[in-house]
A and B are shown apart, each in its own frame.
Chain A
């Protein structure tokens, strides 16, 4: 049985333009290396264990044409005081970036043209570190080609969240790369809403220094779109990283999150909830590496699926030798609302230290008949009862959001989303 040749990304036409236009040496070098990396890795293929449950082809060769099935946009965080950054069709909107006390806000395009900028030690570097042991060539492609993104450096405790809101019209693809540095003792919240593009390849690199604190909330929606996102984060001593993603209606999403806990007593949470209906394939691929003592990590994922929707969870906790007193937790659960939907999971543990407590759990099933009967017997309509039980099912993941106001906003959004469908 001959194994088909791996597809080689042909980055020359685009990369020449991007790499050559990089006017400073370090950016040019980083991008050229990323081009070489992506080319030597080749595109992922269905034979790759890492792509067991999601077809990578759709991210690579499939053309996406939007039809008219756009829904009215729901304003989620309208009541919120925030610093807003707008994207349009994968590009930062012209106009001034918000000025934030305790945080530098810049454009990627500007910082990569500077000879000396802190970003040179980060851009593409966390992505590079995240290429081992599993190759993520689509992230390398992003590092090679991305010219748009936001560069944030938090030095103090931010009073309000920074929100990136994107609007995409027409059939534009987007390659976006954000770089975030949270300095010692600093704390910030980043919110992402809207759609970057019809097909989006997004990389976020986050470096959280000792005692730093980074919160991330993301709402992904937009019918028919293909989103492939990577978060690469490095956590210092006593730092905190918390990310929550809500996905609904997107045709194809793969959210990869690669965390490395390098400082003692660090704390990381990756959580997600998705509501899938019909043509919906959602993949959460998480890789948490414990490389320090006394760290805690949590992965909490809830998927509600119906009408043939597919939910995928591939989570891994790697505890390196010497990472004693690790507390690793992982739960992935699915609620299948009908017989056509599928839940595919691979929750993995790889442990080389003995004084650890790691556990994972995974369940799949239908709505609890007794709970449904209880609500019906109290006069709640069938649809309403299913919605209520669905909400209570995903609530556990939403509770991972630290800020109660934001958690409530997400819950309200979900309630509305359930009502209109």
Chain B
């Protein structure tokens, strides 16, 4: 080991750990591709431009403009425990698409090979009959349909035909606005209204693409659906909008993944996800968020300001949010459930890992409006390095939500003495037949468990990763299989360099 250039008191192990760490983020490369940008900055003209690029009808443009005008009067929310330099909204691009996407490809075969190569490298092959990478084909046929979003546009959606046969609509939201305006007009903005919050309003004005799913009554979606978001262009914000409608007695499992190249300058990502569930419908929504977290000094990374909400309108409907948050420099994200229909259920499983200079403020809201509604929150926060990790959540039992039930468990784990772990739950109970239970603990990695692993010959980092995986198990089990494996590896990778 070459120790010549290293200051006194810094041992070889530390140097090695840093080396390993700086090479940790696997998806930090970029794709060299000719891009087409909208002019820098944000104005009504940009909103009009985005709308015209997507060939949108007049009503959609009006909707966007109303959102933009409202946004101008809003203030940046400051209540979250995150600290980042003020964002200059005029100093970035709001629309960037590969030149080759100027004319929407007819089929996947027409997509620019460079783009296909990008997704292949990310482990998301845009070929039909393909599975997410890293997983052996299980028995029977397990298919995953993918909508791939590259910067501001969707580059392709697989299995559309096969899904169509089952009646399922799975396409980019820009296509849906053109092809299914009746559904869009009926549901868009009804779960997360334009006026919801600063970033949701901004998203309503400038969203460029995203995914749209409609599952008709009685249909169990024949395959898992997924969207993969990739930010590639520099100084470009990604604003995507996802709308999933599960009609009566339908079921869908939806996966979401995201990555971005390593860059010195932080990039903005402000998404809105709306889920609508009618009677007896069920949606499983799983996210592995692996945006570039910035380097060990907090330079660069994605600012991830996301509004996700499910509206359980129907009786006995059920929604399950599962998230593994390992990336992003700053995370501000609260996937929530409005339990409106009687006997509806909401679940939230979350692992949030913050290392180095990352800051995560994440949690959920369970709003019980209907009778006999149930919710369950399991949140595991892990802080390492100099990171700050906050769980923020609301459980609200309205007067009419009689005989409802909530159970909340949020645990925090601290690795090292420079990081912070915080819990900010809000509990509001307005009827007496409901039961609400909330538990939270904060502790460090158990010494006995570590010692056990070490005494069996495991390296320290492996031992920590194993203990942490055990800590997260409840959440990992809630993920679909492909994701669970990826997430397990991610947990280990995200913590690399945090020990010693």
Instruction: Identify the A interface with B (CB < 8 A).
Output: 1, 49, 52, 321-322, 324, 334, 336-339, 341-366
Contact = CB atoms under 8 A, between A and B. Distances in A.
Contact of B425 (A338, A356, A362, A366): A362
B432 A336 contact: yes
B489 interface: no
Nearest to B195: A1
Nearest to A365: B435
A359 B408 CA distance: 13
Contact of B444 (A347, A348, A350, A354): A354
Given A342-B430, A365-B434, A365-B435, A360 B423 contact: yes
A345 B427 contact: yes
Nearest to A353: B417
B87 interface: no
A349 B429 contact: no
15 contacts: A321-B418, A324-B417, A339-B402, A342-B428, A345-B425, A349-B412, A349-B423, A351-B414, A351-B442, A356-B442, A359-B440, A361-B438, A363-B435, A364-B429, A365-B434
Contacts of A357: 441-443
A364 B435 contact: yes
Contact of B433 (A52, A339, A352): A339
A344 B432 contact: no
B493 interface: no
Contacts of B442: 349, 351, 356-359
Contacts of A49: 79
B432 A339 contact: yes
Contacts of B422: 348-351
Nearest to A305: B432
A339 B400 CA distance: 9
A221 to B, nearest CB: 24
A343 B416 contact: no
A341 B399 CA distance: 9
Contact of B419 (A348, A349, A354, A355): A354
A366 B433 contact: yes
A351 B387 CA distance: 12
Contacts of A365: 432, 434-436
A362 B408 CA distance: 10
B426 interface: yes
A362 to B, nearest CB: 4
B62 interface: no
B440 A344 contact: no
A357 B413 CA distance: 10
B11 interface: no
Nearest first, the 5 closest Cβ-Cβ pairs linking A and B are: A336-B432, A354-B414, A364-B429, A345-B427, A349-B423
Interface residues of B, number: 37
Contacts of A336: 429, 431-432
A34 B156 CA distance: 65
Chain A interface main SS type: strand
Chain B interface main SS type: strand
A348 B418 CA distance: 20
B440 A364 contact: no
Max count, chain B CB within 10 A of own CB: residue among A358, A364, A365: A364
B372 to A, nearest CB: 15
A355 B437 contact: no
B481 interface: no
B73 interface: yes
B182 interface: no
A347 B440 CA distance: 9
Contacts of B293: none
A334 B429 contact: yes
B420 interface: yes
A321 B420 CA distance: 8
A161 B402 CA distance: 47
Contacts of B423: 347-349, 360
A356 B438 contact: no
A80 B340 CA distance: 55
A32 to B, nearest CB: 32
B438 A362 contact: yes
Contact of B427 (A338, A350, A364): A364
Given A321-B418, A346-B424, A355-B444, 14 more contacts: A339-B433, A342-B429, A342-B430, A350-B422, A351-B414, A351-B422, A354-B414, A354-B415, A354-B416, A357-B441, A363-B435, A363-B436, A363-B438, A365-B434
A351 B423 CA distance: 9
B421 interface: yes
A359 B439 contact: yes
A357 B422 CA distance: 13
A133 to B, nearest CB: 11
A213 B435 CA distance: 38
B431 to A, nearest CB: 5
B368 to A, nearest CB: 12
A352 B429 contact: no
Given A350-B420, A361-B438, A363-B436, A344 B428 contact: yes
Contacts of A353: 414, 417
B435 to A, nearest CB: 4
Nearest to A2: B73
B358 to A, nearest CB: 15
B209 to A, nearest CB: 30
B417 A348 contact: no
Contacts of A355: 417, 444
Nearest to A310: B430
Nearest to A322: B417
Max count, chain A CB within 10 A of own CB: residue among B399, B412, B431: B431
Interface in B393-421: 397, 399, 402, 412, 414-421
Contact of A344 (B79, B414, B429): B429
Contacts of B397: 364
A365 B435 CA distance: 5
Contacts of A342: 428-430
Given A356-B444, A359-B440, A351 B412 contact: yes
Contact of A351 (B415, B416, B418, B420): B420
B420 A352 contact: yes
Nearest to B74: A1
Contact of B441 (A324, A348, A358): A358
A341 B420 contact: no
A346 B429 contact: no
Contacts of B402: 339
Nearest to B396: A344
Contact of B426 (A324, A337, A341, A346): A346
Nearest to A367: B432
Contacts of B426: 52, 344-346
Nearest to A316: B424
Contacts of B430: 342
Given A354-B415, A360-B440, A363-B436, A343 B429 contact: yes
